[in-house]
Every structure is written in C-alpha cells, then in structure tokens.
Amino acid sequence: MEQEKQDHTIRSMAKLGSLLTLSEDEKTFQEGKQALPVAINPYFFNLIDPKDPKDPLRRQVVPTRFEQIENRGEDIDPLEEIDHSITERLIHRYENRVAFLVTDICPLYCRHCFRRRFTGTFNGPATRRQIEEAAEYIQQHPKVKEILLTGGDMMTLSDSRIDEMVTIFRTARPDLIIRLCTRTPATWPQRITDDLIAIFKKHSTAPFYVMTQFNHPRELTEEAKIAISRFVDAGIPAMNQTVLLRGVNDSVDTLEELCNKLLANRVKPYYLFQGDLVSGTAHFRVPLIRGMEIEEELHRRLSGLAMPSYTVDLPEGGGKVPLAKCYIEGNDGQGTWKIRTPEGGVRYYQDPPSGD
C-alpha cells in the first residue's frame, strides 16, 4: 500500500515544473537539506486547478521562495516540543495528554507544516523499542488519559505496523483514549480502507477519535467523504483542525462553507489554528486582528456545533490559548456584569447575592 501510492508522488521541482507552469516565486524555491522536501501525491495534485496560479490547494503544497526567508519572532520549534520531550518521540506538554511522533513521513508535505523541524527529515517510523518506551512511560503516568498519534502522518505506516503500535499502547493502558491525528482523509482518502478500520475496532477497550485537517471546502471530495464515513460508522468520532492560512482560507465565506460541509459529513470543527511562529511560514500567517474579525463573523454565522475554537499555540511553549472575542466589558464591583451581544448591543448580567 505504501509503495503503490508513493510511486507516482511528485518529489522534485523539476518534475513539478513539467506538470505545472511555475511562477517566479515557486521556481526560485531551492530544494536542499534545510528545506521541507517536496512531495505531492497524485490524488491531491489532481485536485489542483492548473490554470489558477493562486489555487488554494496549490498554495498548500507547491513551495515558494518565501519559505526560505526567516522573519522576526520565528523559530524552528516555537512550541518548545523538544524541551517537553520525554523520549525522542514522546512530547509531554500538558499533564493529562501526550503526543507521540509516529513517523516523519506524509503522503504530501504541506508548506505550512508547523512541525517542519521533524517532518520529512528521513527519520522514518518509530521503532518497536521507541513505541515500547513511550508505552512504559504512559503506564507509569496514570494521569495521562489521552495519546495523540501524530507526526508526520501515522497512516503512512502499513496496517501491520499500525496494529503493532496500537496493540502496544492498548496493552500498556487499556483505558487510554487514542487520537488518530491524520491528514489522509484530505490528502489520501483511499488509504482509509475497511481493513485499516478493522484494526481500530479490534482494540476498542477505550475510544479512538480521528483528528483530521481539512483546510478548504474543495478538499471534501466524494473520496474524502467516504474515508470520513468509514471512521464514523465504526464509532470513531471525527474532529477537524483547520489552520488559518493566508491565500487559502482567510475568508469568512470559505471557512463558513468548510465548517458547514464538515458538519454535514459528521466531522466536528474543533480548532481553527492561528499560524504558529515557525520559521519560513510568515507568508501563510494572517494578522491577529484579521483572524479575530473572521472569528467574530463566523460566530454570528455558524451554529455552535459548526463553530471551531480559534486558538493560538503560543511561542516559548506557552501552550494553546483561545483567541475568541471576549464579550465581557466589565463589572461594577457589585456583581453586575456588562456584556456585549454578538449584534453589538449591551446587556447586564447579575451575579447571585453573596453570602454563604
């Protein structure tokens, strides 16, 4: 399965240039050691409109020279994941949950990838020993209730490797909630086979959740919808994490359509991430004030179920913080709160009388 699909993946600018008319900014991207590798699989490539140089899907996968400019405040590891690493592959940043870097490989490399210090670095999948070490750690830390299997994209592993890994974690902690963090429903939906789903069903002592990353409504193809259905039909709830990306989805209309489409396909919009301060991604970031305007308008247009939480993962490992508009204007010291309505009006909310 791995091989089959990787064979026709576009892996060089030369190859890409023979298939698309590259712009000056794309042509001047320099492949090399310091760069996130180029990889675009045939499925995603075929979703790109070759006639539109500003195509939002193209922008996510075709590199430009802007990636090679470092800007103020940027860092290769702003979330300080390395400092929070327990082992080479296990990040313990929040007390009750850990992230395990299953592999650095993805079916395609997103040019906005925030984990680019690790992604595509040719480290490959975690070894059995690395998985066992992580499992031992979690066994010794019962406060850890959830594990995020992330990367890279965990679904680039073969079925048997996924089975082996899940077995090890489940054996150590049958009660552990496992989040399957994968972009394959958007980038390689054919990977989500009944055989793959059967592996998770076999290990159902505690829930799995699938955490997808759809950034644009056009990524929700018929194939993608089938991939999502397979998870949800098997009792694996689907949650989506969108990255707010300039020139891709920094428009209220686009995000409204995306969130409604996700919800209609049984995917809960979970996070809308403000871009992390990762080196070489400034051209993708949206100014905070604009992000907050978008969030405010989305809140007016979307149902509570369709509304993601607009969030930033702060630099220097500050952690995730919600950026949603605050409607509280103040309080008079007597327990009366002045609160704005989404339409711009004002209401007062009274605290209960103090006492016992």
Ligand X SMILES: *Cc1c(COP(=O)(O)O)cnc(C)c1O
- Confirm whether 320 is a catalytic residue: yes
Which partner, ligand SF4, ligand X, none, binds residue 176 by CB below 5 to 8 Å per kind?
A: none
- Confirm whether 106 is a catalytic residue: yes
Catalytic residue among 43, 113, 153, 230: 113
Cα–Cα distance measured from residue 132 to residue 130, given in angstroms and rounded to the nearest whole number? 5
Contacts of residue 187, defined as CB under 8 A and 6 or more positions apart, other chains included, come to: 41, 43, 44, 106, 107, 108, 153
Nearer of residues 94 and 348 to ligand X, judged by Cβ:
94
Cα–Cα distance measured from residue 81 to residue 102, given in angstroms and rounded to the nearest whole number? 15
Which listed range, 17-25, 93-101, 103-111, 348-356, lies at the site for ligand SF4 (CB under 6 A)? 103-111
- Confirm whether 276 is a catalytic residue: yes
Q: What residues from 69 to 128 belong to the interface with ligand X (CB under 6 A)?
A: 91, 93-94, 97, 99
The single-letter DSSP state of residue 338 is E
| β-strand pairing of 97-103 with 146-151 | parallel
Give how many residues touch ligand SF4 by CB under 6 A.
Answer: 10
Q: Is 259 annotated as a binding residue?
A: no
Which partner, ligand X, ligand SF4, none, binds residue 97 by CB below 5 to 8 Å per kind?
A: ligand X
Site map 175..214 versus ligand SF4, x via CB under 6 A: --------x-------------------------------
Q: What 3-state DSSP class applies to 74?
A: coil
Instruction: Check residue 141 for interaction with ligand X (CB under 6 A).
Output: no
Pick from 263, 244, 269, 256: nearest CA to 301 = 256
Instruction: Check residue 192 for interaction with ligand X (CB under 6 A).
Output: no
Which partner, ligand X, ligand SF4, none, binds residue 5 by CB below 5 to 8 Å per kind?
A: none
Instruction: Check residue 59 for interaction with ligand SF4 (CB under 6 A).
Output: no
Q: CB of 55 within 8 A of CB of 49?
A: yes
Which of 40, 57, 113, 302 lies at the binding interface for ligand SF4 (CB under 6 A)? 113
Name the residue whose CB lies closest to ligand X: 93
Spell out the alpha helix ranges (H) of the chain: 2-6, 13-19, 24-27, 42-45, 56-61, 128-140, 159-172, 184-187, 194-202, 222-233, 252-264, 288-301
* Distance in Å, CB of 122 to ligand X, minimum: 23
* Distance in Å, CB of 338 to ligand SF4, minimum: 41
Which of 5, 320, 325, 338 lies at the binding interface for ligand X (CB under 6 A)? 320
Q: What 3-state DSSP class applies to 101?
A: strand
Instruction: Check residue 117 for interaction with ligand SF4 (CB under 6 A).
Output: no
Q: Is 181 annotated as a binding residue?
A: no
DSSP per residue over 44-65, as a string? HHTTS-TT-TT-HHHHHHS--G
Catalytic residue among 11, 65, 93, 340: 93
DSSP per residue over 249-268, as a string? T-SHHHHHHHHHHHHHTTEE
- Confirm whether 259 is a catalytic residue: no
Contacts of residue 287, defined as CB under 8 A and 6 or more positions apart, other chains included, come to: none
Measured CA to CA in angstroms, residue 8 lies from 20, 32, 106 at distances of 15, 21, 14
Q: What 3-state DSSP class applies to 319?
A: strand
Q: Tell me which residues are annotated as active site.
A: 93-94, 97, 106, 110, 113, 115, 276, 313, 320
Contact residues toward ligand SF4 (CB under 6 A) are 106, 109-110, 113, 115, 119, 151-153, 183
